[in-house]
Amino acid sequence: MRKSLLMVGAGLSGAVLARQLAEAGHDVTVLDTRSHVGGNCHTQRDPETGVLVHVYGPHIFHTDDAEVWDYINRFGRIRPYTHRVKTTSGGRVYTLPMNLHSINQFFDAAMPPAEARAFVAAKAVTLPYTPRNFEEQALSMLGHELYEAFFKGYTAKQWGCEPTELPAAILKRLPLRFTYDDNYFFHTYQGMPEDGYTPIIAAMLDHPCISLSLNTQFDRPLAQGFDHVFYSGPLDSWFGQDAGALGYRTLDFARLVHDGDYQGCAVMNYADAEIPYTRVTEHKYFAPWEHHARSVCYRETSRACGPGDIPYYPIRLAKDKALLTDYIARAHCETGVTFVGRLGTYRYLDMDVTIREALDCAALYLESLAHDRPM
Ligand code: FAD
Ligand code: UDP
């Protein structure tokens, strides 16, 4: 039977879910408080320079999931792109992720791979237990000098707390390589949408069974009359934050326009604690097939998220985890709603994982209908 479904949020989670459910023959109303689709993946042309800008921070598509890769390629052209990041530390520029070049540069050496591996292993701090936090993870991988030069200051700026308070898993996202490979990611597929992410997400939402309302803030009474709600807004907001607010970091972007090249690469990180910003993104390097005389950069600063700020990174410190457990338990008791995406589940999700989870969620919902088993 044809269902009437409400999708809160027109980001990647909302668009993939809406598309899958519409293709299965259901009517989907999608609403978003913003004036555009795409959520935090939103891209638009900078009015002054014409450069395609990643409005909410740099987004690079990378995945090992062939089905997800095929899925996104259905909705727009993804061009080959390899992300390479530089970092400035102590007034010198190095390549990231930590690789043979950065190690040799930093120690003013010319070590081959095996020698560098042994050299870094000798610097690494041996712990009698599995690293319990970010700092211990970094020290046990790299030792004091590399940790302090590249990770300690940046991490404190990014997360607004001591690296000892953060989970080890955050560092595990980054590889340590004893080769000159400076590809930031290690996935099979990597690319950049030729015209940006927003047209891809708009194409997903372009279906006769989908109706879209932008500039529309969801409130619980709006759910009335729908057979099911998929909610990609913040989990705590569903409950009016009645048990407290889950902690997020927000970002401020200072826009700089420059004649010619500003820094000569897409992303330059700033590792030193004394420099208040974390990184500068020069957007034209995300579309190397385009040519622009002028350049636009975003200088990014991280701070605690207050009321009215955009929530970017879930913090998941001990107090957030306790609150999260409480909200998750309550979410399980709710009927007629499924919590999805990075805000709805309070997790950091890359775009490929977001798509995978949305595809799986849609499949689960359709299966529950087929078996007359409410989700
Ligand atoms: P969102 O994109 O946040 O979309 C949620 C939507 O819901 C928003 O449009 C919001 O306005 C709307 N909404 C929320 N509450 C309400 C409400 N009450 N009423 C109406 N609408 C509402 N991933 C990668 O794979 N590669 C990267 O390089 C990468 N870089 C990133 C950089 C940054 C700075 C950040 C923060 C994330 C990055 N990501 C990256 C992750 C990527 O942004 C997410 O995977 C993706 O945005 C998740 O989509 P979503 O739809 O779940 O959430
Ligand atoms: N990090 C760092 N220095 C860098 C880059 C990253 O200390 O130059 C740390 C930082 O804590 C960051 C984590 O490593 O949150 C993971 O890096 P990633 O590039 O995945 O950052 P994110 O996606 O969180 O911006």
Cα gap 357→373, rounded to integer Å = 20
Asked if residue 185 is part of any domain, the answer here is no
Q: Which of the following is catalytic: 92, 173, 255, 303?
A: 173
* SS3 labels along 259-290: ECCCCCCCEEEECCCCCCCCEEEEHHHHCCCC
Q: Is 148 a catalytic residue?
A: no
**Does the Cβ of 271 fall within 6 Å of ligand 2?**
yes
Q: Is the Cβ atom of 172 under 6 angstroms away from ligand 2?
A: no
* pLDDT score of 323: 96
Q: Are residues 26 and 150 located together in one domain of the fold?
A: no
Whether 212 and 117 map to the same domain: the answer is no
Catalytic residue (choose from 94, 197, 279, 298):
279
Active site residue 132: no
Same domain, 220 and 326: yes
What DSSP line would sit under 160-188, residue for residue? Answer: SS-GGGS-THHHHTS---SSS---S---S
User: Does any ligand 1 atom lie closer than 6 A to the CB of residue 356?
Assistant: no
Going from the Cα of 159 to the center of ligand 2, the distance in angstroms, rounded, reads 10
Active site residue 279: yes
CA of 155 to the centre of ligand 2 (A): 7
The Cα 231–Cα 203 span in angstroms is 21
Same domain, 130 and 237: no
pLDDT of residue 372: 87
**What pLDDT, on the 0 to 100 scale, is given for residue 174?**
84
Residue 113 Cα to ligand 1 midpoint, Å, equals: 39
- Flag whether 338 is in a domain: yes
Provide the 3-class DSSP secondary structure of residue 244. Answer: coil
Q: Is residue 158 part of a domain?
A: yes
Residue 151 lies in a domain: yes
**Statement to judge: residues 233 and 324 lie in one domain:** yes
Q: Is 350 a catalytic residue?
A: yes
- 222 shares its domain with 102: no
289 is a domain residue: no
Ligand closest in space to the Cα of 315: 2
Asked whether 4 and 27 are in contact (CB, 8 A), the reply is: yes
Cα–Cα distance, 68 to 7 (Å, whole number): 21
Ligand nearest to the CA of 352: 1
Question: Cα 134 to the chain's mean position, in Å?
Answer: 19
pLDDT at 320: 86
The count of structural domains within the chain is 2
Ligand nearest, relative to CA of residue 223: 1
d(CA 282, CA 296): 6
Domain that holds residue 159: 94-172
**Is 173 one of the annotated active-site residues of the chain?**
yes
Give, as one character, the DSSP assignment of residue 132. Answer: -
Longest CA span, the chain? 69
pTM for the predicted model, two decimal places: 0.97
Query: Residue 373: what pLDDT?
Result: 85
- Residue 349 sits in a domain whose CATH number is 3.40.50.720
Q: Which atom of ligand 1 is nearest to the CA of 37?
A: 9
Ramachandran bin of 13, using left for φ above 0, alpha for ψ from -120 to 50, beta for the remaining angles: alpha
Catalytic residue among 81, 189, 236, 249: 249
The predicted structure's pLDDT at residue 75: 98
| Series of mean pLDDT values for 10-residue runs along the chain (375 residues) | 97 98 98 98 98 98 98 98 98 97 98 98 96 96 98 97 92 91 96 98 98 97 97 97 96 97 98 98 98 97 96 88 95 97 96 98 97 85
Whether 119 and 166 share a structural domain: yes
In Å, how far are 1, 55, 78, 80, 145 from 192, measured between CA atoms? 39, 15, 5, 7, 35
Q: Are residues 21 and 132 in the same domain?
A: no
232 and 330 both lie in a single domain? yes
ipTM value? 0.98
- The answer to whether the beta carbons of residues 58 and 37 sit under 8 Å apart is no
Q: What's the CA gap between 196 and 201, in Å, rounded?
A: 9
The answer to whether the CB of 59 is under 6 A from ligand 1 is: yes
